[in-house]
């Protein structure tokens, strides 16, 4: 829980802090998720996006700051120990050996010197091994903790973002941010960013030890570093392009594969197998070619690094060998130089290979930080007015609604719905019916005016009070993976099995649920558990019944039904409505007939308002609708 609180606090904080001051905002088209597909960023824009990613990283690192510092200490000490091995060998040969020789000649015991040399080496070995292991483990702990925070943070933020944002940004992109983008971060962590850092440290310390041993040989190392740097850079640039290409070709191949296998009925029924064979052969061949290309690049890099390393050793041998002949260099030092020179470039392979991982992780971080920069337009009240048990009276006063871009959807209106009234809303496609009822569920906020529930402004209610009192059932009747019972329990998570069943009985879902393979425990994603649209809607009605709100909103909730369950739904619907305040965007006139009151909405305005009987008598649009419907039944 404490982690939860921390993350939550940090989440809020970062939403504010991750947006640098106004002066730094180069271009409004870059804020949040806008322009995330743009590639042509100017220097300043790039700086802004980088700064945003960097702020995010810093926010993530804050709670693990001390552990991060500890990992830094560990990686420094362990690699210093590792790099000291050749130094100890040189010391052992150049200092220890003459000591032992002279002690032995003097008839003394060689044990103290031998133990000192061996003990130092073993001590360094154990230090290096244990600290390196601890470092690897600690890095994983730290990075996984950061990743967990980021996951939870993005998840929460996504859930908090208003529907307006989700409708605009599309589910696919939100999912990519949370899955593939976070995966590329995970991949980077997973594939050993720790071993990369450790490798670089090792190179550094090995370099230092060469300087310590013989600074002149270090100059050779500096020279050798030039071709290594060129080779690595060449590899990075080339592999970046090839890697991208092979990502594309592997994605194409996989998409084709999945599409073929999921559409196998159509493939076989329309004899598409042979044509598919050819297509897939081409795609798989392209992937093979790209892969070979990328392997070949590494096939050039690797020998280059090996040869450079070997030639460095040769150069050190040449340069050191003559000095040994002169007697100006100890032979142990030369041996140590040769050992160190051979190992110094080994981590370069990793450096080169991790580059593309870094690239995709950076790109991912930029997009994720953009998503986090989006502010929810519907915000929860900071000091909510409590409303534990609402009666269900809804009142719009001087209300107006339009989207952020200034487009007015519902011009100024007043509307009062007394508690317990069942109101049907009818109108043409796009008349604004759905917007009207979604305002009551606070999926959107009014642009101006007031909307109250039992006299309390909707935006002054806490989310939990609002959702306890106002529930909306939508057309899609989405089910989550899990059992039928769990899906109903979404209406009230603490409900008992008996209450869940009672809710299902009330809306007429009990019978069909019992007929499922495992009754209430049937997993809705398993074969045999897949429910028809009508059955799903019954489950969502049971969910709403269980939630038992004062105000119930049904947004086209019956429109997807065309199967036998329709009747059942109609009966269940009556019981579901009970004496609640209800707003129904009706699909069928039979539904309208159970309403106390009908609102006919046209072009964002309520143009007719009254009981069904009154409206039929008054002879307006609703009366015509009623007549047309009667005709269609007869015809």
Q: Which of 574, 619, 622 is nearest to 597 (CA)?
A: 622
Nearer to another protein, 44 or 268 (CB): 268
CB of 25 to another protein, least distance (A): 28
Q: Which of 427, 471, 448, 480 is nearest to 602 (CA)?
A: 427
Decide if 484 contacts 521 (C-beta within 8 A): yes
Nearer to another protein, 30 or 330 (CB): 330
Nearer to another protein, 141 or 575 (CB): 141
Nearer to another protein, 456 or 607 (CB): 607
d(CA 437, CA 410): 12
d(CA 229, CA 232): 5
Q: Residue 59 is inside which H or E element, if any?
A: helix 43-61
Nearer to another protein, 16 or 429 (CB): 429
CB of 423 to another protein, least distance (A): 14
- The sheet with strand 394-402 has its strands ordered as 408-417, 394-402, 448-453, 456-457
d(CA 305, CA 229): 10
Nearer to another protein, 25 or 272 (CB): 272
Residue 20 CB coordination number (10 Å): 13
Nearer to another protein, 42 or 268 (CB): 268
Most distant CA atoms of the chain, gap in Å: 128
CB of 401 to another protein, least distance (A): 17
CB of 211 to another protein, least distance (A): 21
Nearer to another protein, 30 or 305 (CB): 305
Per DSSP (E only), the strands in 418-555 are: 422-427, 448-453, 456-457, 470-473, 551-555
Nearer to another protein, 382 or 527 (CB): 527
C-alpha dist (Å) from residue 566 to 351, 515, 536, 557, 591:
63, 17, 11, 11, 11
Decide if 387 contacts 469 (C-beta within 8 A): yes
- The sheet with strand 551-555 has its strands ordered as 470-473, 551-555, 581-585, 422-427, 597-602, 605-610
CB of 449 to another protein, least distance (A): 22
CB of 205 to another protein, least distance (A): 14
Which residues face 401 on adjacent strands?
Answer: 410
Q: Residue 15 is inside which H or E element, if any?
A: helix 2-17
Residue 431 CB coordination number (10 Å): 20
SS3 597: strand
d(CA 155, CA 174): 10
Which residues face 448 on adjacent strands?
Answer: 400
Nearer to another protein, 30 or 93 (CB): 93
CB of 219 to another protein, least distance (A): 18
CB of 53 to another protein, least distance (A): 20
CB of 529 to another protein, least distance (A): 8
Nearer to another protein, 397 or 570 (CB): 570
CB of 153 to another protein, least distance (A): 10
Tokens of 101: 């020789």
Decide if 399 contacts 448 (C-beta within 8 A): yes
d(CA 288, CA 294): 10
CB of 295 to another protein, least distance (A): 5
CB of 85 to another protein, least distance (A): 6
C-alpha dist (Å) from residue 461 to 245, 309, 550, 551:
52, 69, 14, 14
Nearer to another protein, 29 or 310 (CB): 310
């Amino acid at each position: 829980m404490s982690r939860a609180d921390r993350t939550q606090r940090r989440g809020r904080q970062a939403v504010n802090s991750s947006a640098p001051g106004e002066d730094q905002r180069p271009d409004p088209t870059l804020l949040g998720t806008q322009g995330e597909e743009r590639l042509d960023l100017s220097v300043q824009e790039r700086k802004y996006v980088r700064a945003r990613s960097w702020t995010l990283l810093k926010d993530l690192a804050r709670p693990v700051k001390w552990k991060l510092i500890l990992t830094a200490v560990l990686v420094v000490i362990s690699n210093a120990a590792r790099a000291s091995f050749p130094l100890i060998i040189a010391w052992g040969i150049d200092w220890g050996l003459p000591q032992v020789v002279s002690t032995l000649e003097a008839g003394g015991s060689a044990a103290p010197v031998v133990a000192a040399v061996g003990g130092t080496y073993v001590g360094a070995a154990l230090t290096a091994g244990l600290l390196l292991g601890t470092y690897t483990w600690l890095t994983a702990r730290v990075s996984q903790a950061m990743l967990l925070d980021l996951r939870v943070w993005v998840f929460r933020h996504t859930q908090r973002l208003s529907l307006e944002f989700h409708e605009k940004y599309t589910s696919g992109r939100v999912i990519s941010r949370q899955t593939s983008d976070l995966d590329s971060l995970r991949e980077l962590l997973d594939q050993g960013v720790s071993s990369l850092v450790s490798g670089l440290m090792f190179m550094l310390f090995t370099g230092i030890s060469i300087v310590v041993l013989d600074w002149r040989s270090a100059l050779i190392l500096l020279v050798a570093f030039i071709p290594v740097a060129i080779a690595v850079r060449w590899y990075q640039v080339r592999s970046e392009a090839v890697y991208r290409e092979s990502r594309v070709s592997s994605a194409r191949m996989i998409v084709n594969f999945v599409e073929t296998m999921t559409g196998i009925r159509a493939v076989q029924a329309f004899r598409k197998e042979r044509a598919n064979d050819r297509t897939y052969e081409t795609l798989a061949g392209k992937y093979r070619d790209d892969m070979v290309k990328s392997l070949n690049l590494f096939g050039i890099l690797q020998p280059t690094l090996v040869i450079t390393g070997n030639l460095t050793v040769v150069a050190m041998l040449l340069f050191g060998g003559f000095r040994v002949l002169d007697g100006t260099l100890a032979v142990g030092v030369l041996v140590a130089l040769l050992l160190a020179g051979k190992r110094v470039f080994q981590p370069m392979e990793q450096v080169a290979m991790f580059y593309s991982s870094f690239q995709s992780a950076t790109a991912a971080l930029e997009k994720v930080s953009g998503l986090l920069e989006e502010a929810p337009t519907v915000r929860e009240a900071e000091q909510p007015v409590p409303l534990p048990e609402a009666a269900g009276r809804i009142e719009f006063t001087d209300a107006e609604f339009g989207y952020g871009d200034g487009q007015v959807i519902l011009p100024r209106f007043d509307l009062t719905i007394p508690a317990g009234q069942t109101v049907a809303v009818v109108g043409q496609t796009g008349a604004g019916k759905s917007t009207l009822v979604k305002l009551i569920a606070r999926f959107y906020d009014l642009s101006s005016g007031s909307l109250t529930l039992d006299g309390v402004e909707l935006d002054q209610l806490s989310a939990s009070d609002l959702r306890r009192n106002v529930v909306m059932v939508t057309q899609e009747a989405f089910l989550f993976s899990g059992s039928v019972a769990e899906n109903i329990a979404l209406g009230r998570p603490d409900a008992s099995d008996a209450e869940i069943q009672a809710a299902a009985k009330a809306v007429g879902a009990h019978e069909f649920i019992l007929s499922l393979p495992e009754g209430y425990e049937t997993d809705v994603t398993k074969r045999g558990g897949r429910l028809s649209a009508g059955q799903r809607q019954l489950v969502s009605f049971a969910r709403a019944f269980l939630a038992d709100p004062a105000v119930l909103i049904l947004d086209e909730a019956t429109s997807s039904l065309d199967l036998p369950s329709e009747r059942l739904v109609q009966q269940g619907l009556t019981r579901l409505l009970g004496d609640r305040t209800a707003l129904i965007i009706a699909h069928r006139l039979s539904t309208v007939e159970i309403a106390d009151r009908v609102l006919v909405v046209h072009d964002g305005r309520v143009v007719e308002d009254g009981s069904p009987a009154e409206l039929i008598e008054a002879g307006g649009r609703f009366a015509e609708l009623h007549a047309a419907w009667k005709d269609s039944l007869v015809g």
